[in-house]
Amino acid sequence: MWDKLVHGFPGSVFEEEHRGECVPEYSEPRGVDIRVENLNKSFGDLHVLKDICLDIKAGETFSIIGPSGTGKSVLLKHIVKLVKPDSGRIFIDGHDIFAEKPKDAAREYRYSMVFQTSALFNSLTVGENVGLWLREKRICNEGRIRRVIREKLRLVGLEGKEDMMTSELSGGMKKRVAIARSLAMNPDLILYDEPTAELDPVTSDELARVVMNLKEDISLTSVIVSHDLNFAFHLSDRVAMIHDGRIIEVGTPAELKASENPNVKKFIYTTTKGITGS
């Protein structure tokens, strides 16, 4: 289960005693920019990512769309260092994330990934799930942890639901609890892999609103992988389409919809069944 909770936080801080309510590194999120340069990755003979180049701005909500099996999840896993590239580099706020870390490096960026399966502990309450990481790593004192839990649940529209059992929640609520748990670490960067998988259209819509509202409340960069085009177009500042391991188009939702690239047009047409909406 723990390997499902992908969080990045410098480990050494937990060993030291701290006097305030929280460790000093538990600061406000700052939003980071991401630059992917000529990234290549193969698994055996399968060349999955081909010369990927991307620039994601600090504070942006950026979606990566494309057909199944084209490397979207693999790309996301590179950004959180779960997978290493064969060649190419990734810079976050100008730091090469695969390079040896200099001792005097600026504070590391914090990231959190929301997985397709919400990966919550069903035997715990909603509040316990959200506060799990803060308690486990002893990031803050108990009083502050309770306040953080309340605040993060409010951000995802689940105010006052601390004491509900996770097993009693609907799929959409579980997803929101998973987001609140990710937010508990004040991430600079939050990544979602297929957030609307298994959700009905109304619940997907609610989730889109939650993700959009977060942007107004906190400064963080969001990267979303989805083949739900309506969802991605609705909430993203910009979208990249990946096809056969290559980025074939990047732009605002309006630019993607107006793309002349035949593969983009075909993907949009088939996944929206020709319903282009506004």
Site residues (CB under 5 A) for Mg ion? 73
Confirm or reject binding of residue 72 to ligand ATP (CB under 6 A).
Answer: yes
Q: Which of 32, 34, 74, 247 binds ligand ATP (CB under 6 A)?
A: 74
- The tokens describing 79, both together, are 């950004």
Confirm or reject binding of residue 29 to ligand ATP (CB under 6 A).
Answer: no
Which of 17, 78, 83, 81 lies closest to 53 in space, CA to CA?
A: 78
Count of residues binding ligand ATP (CB under 6 A)?
A: 11
Between 67 and 253, CB nearer to Mg ion: 67
Q: Which of Mg ion, ligand ATP, none does residue 74 bind to, with CB < 5 to 8 Å depending on kind?
A: ligand ATP
Confirm or reject binding of residue 71 to ligand ATP (CB under 6 A).
Answer: yes
Confirm or reject binding of residue 270 to ligand ATP (CB under 6 A).
Answer: no
Confirm or reject binding of residue 73 to ligand ATP (CB under 6 A).
Answer: yes
Is residue 232 within 8 Å of residue 224, measured between CB atoms?
yes
> Smallest gap, in angstroms, from Cβ of residue 102 to ligand ATP?
30
Confirm or reject binding of residue 68 to ligand ATP (CB under 6 A).
Answer: yes
Q: Strand runs (DSSP E) across 197-273, as ranges?
A: 221-225, 238-243, 246-251
Confirm or reject binding of residue 117 to ligand ATP (CB under 6 A).
Answer: no
Residue 223 phi, psi (nearest 5) = -120, 125
Confirm or reject binding of residue 195 to ligand ATP (CB under 6 A).
Answer: no
Confirm or reject binding of residue 227 to ligand ATP (CB under 6 A).
Answer: yes
Q: Which of Mg ion, ligand ATP, none does residue 48 bind to, with CB < 5 to 8 Å depending on kind?
A: ligand ATP
Candidates 66-74, 107-115, 117-125, 184-192 — which segment interacts with ligand ATP by CB under 6 A? Answer: 66-74
Confirm or reject binding of residue 243 to ligand ATP (CB under 6 A).
Answer: no
Which CA distances in Å does 200 have to 127, 141, 161, 209?
A: 25, 39, 22, 14
Long-range contacts of 13-20 (CB under 8 A, 24+ apart): 14/137, 14/138, 14/139
Between 73 and 118, CB nearer to Mg ion: 73
Q: Which of ligand ATP, Mg ion, none does residue 43 bind to, with CB < 5 to 8 Å depending on kind?
A: ligand ATP
Between 72 and 161, CB nearer to ligand ATP: 72
Confirm or reject binding of residue 130 to ligand ATP (CB under 6 A).
Answer: no
Q: Which of 70, 166, 186, 196 binds ligand ATP (CB under 6 A)?
A: 70
- List, in order, residues 6 or more apart from 260 with CB less than 8 Å away: none
Between 47 and 137, CB nearer to ligand ATP: 47
Confirm or reject binding of residue 86 to ligand ATP (CB under 6 A).
Answer: no
Is residue 87 within 8 Å of residue 51, measured between CB atoms?
no
Q: Using CB under 6 A as the criterion, which residues of the chain lie in contact with ligand ATP when the complex forms?
A: 43, 46, 48, 68-74, 227
